[in-house]
Amino acid sequence: MAVTKSKSKRSKKSAKQSQVETPSLSIKEQLAQKRKATKARKELISTLTTVTVVSLFAGLLAFLVVGIKTAVPVVLGIIVMSLSYKYPLMGLIAFLVYVPFGGTITYYIGNSPILQLAKDAFYIPALIAIWQACRRQKLPLIFPPAIRTPFFILLGVCLLTLLFVNGAQQFSPPDLGPFKQAPNEIPLGMGILGLKVLIGYLPLIACVYYLMKDKKDFLFISRLQVVLILVCCALGIVQFLLLRIGICEGTRNATGDALFKATLEARCYFGGALVYSPDEGMIRLPGTFVAPWQWAWFLISSTFLAFATGFSDPSIIWRLISLGSMAGIFINAVISGQRIALALVPVCFVILLVLTGQIGNLKRFIPIGVGLAFLLGIAMASNPAVVQERINSFSSRWEASPPQDFIVQQFEDSLGSSNNILGNGLGRATNSARTLGSTRLIETYYPKLLYEVGIVGTLGFLALVTTITVAAFKTYRSIKNRNFRTYAAALWVFILFISYNTYYYPLDVDPVAVYYWFFAGILFKLPDIDKQERENADSPQKNQKKGLQLKFL
């Protein structure tokens, strides 16, 4: 009874302390906040009205000239770009939300190469707004400062390749001899697109750093990503079930080579091309993405992000939601048919446990570990044939073509394919540039760089990602708060893994091409948020500075 009374006294005391620590606003401050909110609401209404009128007018012109299929994207494009420019933080959040659903949206609207770049309608206007604010306030757009030198070296090498290699291909194409027609290519366009794919999303680091103000923004973004993972994984499971029960036919009734090739004709409601020939032991599902291997790398990268929130979020509810996301990732790694996901998802999870130190945090590790093992056990027990087929497929693939031998072969081929120190041209091995000219399929990342920008450009890129990795490690080690430190540790391991991974080319396409730079920005912001929280705890009645920010925010 005495213990109960002492506990109630302590709870009352802590409640009183929290009331003291939360200073009430004066009447003047309350009126200032109301005026600010009213002004923001009027600006939003005015912006929406203007943008709607302009977009509808442009859409009407497009409808009269071209048709409805062009008019709708024009209207949506103007609205999205205008609002992303006016509200860059919301633009980047919408960009983050769009990335995992881009493949599904693309094929619902219509299969066009232009639609593959639709996500940049969120990113580029927000980037322009932030760049303008940085110029006014004399803040660097390339952040952190440590990466500026390797970035400009890499940019210089890439511009030399663009000018002297892609430019020469554009204005002085090789003589193919008599009776041979020159291919219809745009080498400079390929080079510009290749440069955009290579380092076009690097400014996301600074964008996220400047836009994310405090702990509230950080928790919102981290939790939003967990929800996106959960939704995408649920849709991936639904896609598998629709194929399994026969609502979607897949490729099960195809003949010959079509049984083993991903096609859009076999598409099942979400995502793009897929293969579903269970009688042949061939299943490759795309989830919500354009291609199956993009789905695999979404699952791999999401392992790091769901793990980060699962072990660091202060709310037990969100830790449980993260557990559900991780379970969805593991289940999809099995049913999607992607060997690389089946191999790397559990390996990455174990590496995270070790490198972040969470394997020793029994209080959080045991509930999550036991819960995850329980859910996985149910999934595997209900689909034993699927699990066995994936294991057999993985082992047979490894025996037929070991990854290390495949990577060495690709390096040798790239080294023997060019006598030019600047490479064969930007975009020449970039899949998204194939509509602008002939490209070469190179399925490993650094041999692909070697082929495009030569040995100097490859070393420049290695220097850049090494600098980012080292800066990320130092940043993670500087954080004092345990939860922030755990999240930062998971992001550092993610950056380390992607920086030096050369198997396939995840840094070239969604979602890793976005997540790598976006979450690096979050990692570099965490020390500022950590400092804010400690200062607010020491002196809650003072208005603390919220780190380096742009004034228009």
pTM over 0.85: yes
Task: Give the chain's mean pLDDT.
Answer: 84
Distance (Å, whole) CA 293 – CA 99:
15
Higher pLDDT, 122 or 18: 122
Q: For residue 487, give every residue at least 6 positions away whose Cβ sits within 8 Å of its Cβ, in sequence order, or none.
A: 222, 308, 309, 312, 526
pLDDT tens-digit profile of 228-276? 999 999 999 999 999 989 899 888 888 888 888 888 888 898 888 899 9
Nearest to 208 by CA among 127, 122, 135, 306: 127
pLDDT tens-digit profile of 314-334? 998 998 899 889 989 988 988
The three-point CA angle 483-201-469 to 5° equals: 50
Distance (Å, whole) CA 522 – CA 547:
13
pLDDT at 553 over 70: no
Asked whether 509 and 433 are in contact (CB, 8 A), the reply is: no
Distance (Å, whole) CA 519 – CA 302:
12
Q: What pLDDT is attached to residue 29?
A: 67
pLDDT tens-digit profile of 392-436? 776 777 777 788 888 889 998 888 887 788 999 999 998 888 888
Q: What pLDDT is attached to residue 359?
A: 74
Q: What pLDDT is attached to residue 24?
A: 56
Higher pLDDT, 2 or 131: 131
Q: What pLDDT is attached to residue 255?
A: 80
Q: What pLDDT is attached to residue 232?
A: 96
pLDDT at 342 over 80: yes
pLDDT at 216 over 80: yes
Asked whether 24 and 36 are in contact (CB, 8 A), the reply is: no
Q: What pLDDT is attached to residue 340?
A: 87
Query: How would residue 437 be classed by pLDDT, with cut points 50, 70 and 90?
Result: confident
pLDDT tens-digit profile of 503-512? 888 999 889 9
Q: Using H for helix, E for strand and C for coil, what is the string for 346-378? A: HHHHHHHHHHCCHHHCHHHHHHHHHHHHHHHHH
pLDDT tens-digit profile of 91-104? 999 999 999 998 88
Distance (Å, whole) CA 395 – CA 453:
35
Q: What pLDDT is attached to residue 311?
A: 87
Tokens read off for 201: 């999303």
Distance (Å, whole) CA 503 – CA 405:
11
- How far apart, in Å, are the Cα atoms of 38 and each of 33, 42, 213, 311, 553? 9, 6, 21, 39, 16
Nearest to 330 by CA among 243, 248, 230: 230
Query: How would residue 20 be classed by pLDDT, with cut points 50, 70 and 90?
Result: very low
Q: What's the rounded mean pLDDT across residues 465-481?
A: 95
pLDDT tens-digit profile of 108-128? 776 666 666 788 999 999 999
Q: What pLDDT is attached to residue 522?
A: 96
Q: What pLDDT is attached to residue 547?
A: 46
Q: What pLDDT is attached to residue 343?
A: 83
